[in-house]
């Protein structure tokens, strides 16, 4: 005769399989509308990024080939950095760049010739509860 413990194990496993494959109403609502990140390429692991095209100025390079960018985060985990990047792009509307500077992935945006312009953008983002700071990059 089959013991009750074995019956319980088989029934538990069957219930797990059935429940694990079931779709919830949210799954059916969002099916086919999942957010897809752009494909990864070698630029995510580069030491520098292309800040020549500024978000708010026609001449991105200032005196002595200096450019000011906004840095949002420095995250060690690649997947967490990708997730944060997508969230920041959605919230700010800026093109967020990931720059790998061992051991962190730095999330940066913009590129202004004048520090005052970058500071103004940082203030506007701060008013919308997005924390960032200005970084000076030598080209």
Encode the chain (139 residues) as per-residue pLDDT tens digits. Answer: 567 777 777 777 766 655 555 555 655 655 665 555 566 555 555 445 555 444 444 445 555 788 999 999 999 999 999 999 999 998 888 899 999 988 899 999 988 899 999 999 999 988 888 888 899 988 7
**Residue 76 forms part of a structural domain:** yes
Which pLDDT value is given to residue 58?
41
**Residue 12 forms part of a structural domain:** no
Which pLDDT value is given to residue 116?
92
**Residue 114 forms part of a structural domain:** yes
For residue 74, report the phi and psi dihedrals to the nearest 5 degrees.
-135, 110
Q: Is 14 left (phi over 0), alpha (psi -120 to 50) or beta?
A: alpha
Domain count, the chain: 1
Q: Is 138 left (phi over 0), alpha (psi -120 to 50) or beta?
A: beta
Give 70's Cβ-side CA count (13 Å radius). Answer: 26
**Residue 58 forms part of a structural domain:** yes
DSSP letter string, 5-33: HHHHHHHHHHHHHHHHTPPPHHHHHHTT-
| Nearest-angstrom CA–CA distance, 139 and 66 | 6
What residue numbers bound the domain in which 106 lies? 42-138
Provide the CATH number for the domain around residue 110.
Answer: 3.30.70.1070
Q: For the chain, give the number of residues.
A: 139
**Residue 61 forms part of a structural domain:** yes
Q: What's the pTM value of the predicted model, to 2 decimals?
A: 0.55
Tell how many helices (H) and how many strands (E) occur in the chain.
4, 4
């Amino acid at each position: 005769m089959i013991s009750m413990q074995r019956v319980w194990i088989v029934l538990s496993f069957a219930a797990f399989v059935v429940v694990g494959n079931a779709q919830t109403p949210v799954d059916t609502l969002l099916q086919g509308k999942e957010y897809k990140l752009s494909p990864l390429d070698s630029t995510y692991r580069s030491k520098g990024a292309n800040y020549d095209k500024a978000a708010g100025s026609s001449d991105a390079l200032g005196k002595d080939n200096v450019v000011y960018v906004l840095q949002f985060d420095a995250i060690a985990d690649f997947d967490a950095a990708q997730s944060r990047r997508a969230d920041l792009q959605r919230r700010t509307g800026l093109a967020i760049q990931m720059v790998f500077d061992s051991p962190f992935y730095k999330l940066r945006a913009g590129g202004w010739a004048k520090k005052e312009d970058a500071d103004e953008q940082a203030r506007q983002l701060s008013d919308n509860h997005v924390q960032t700071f200005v970084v000076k990059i030598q080209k």
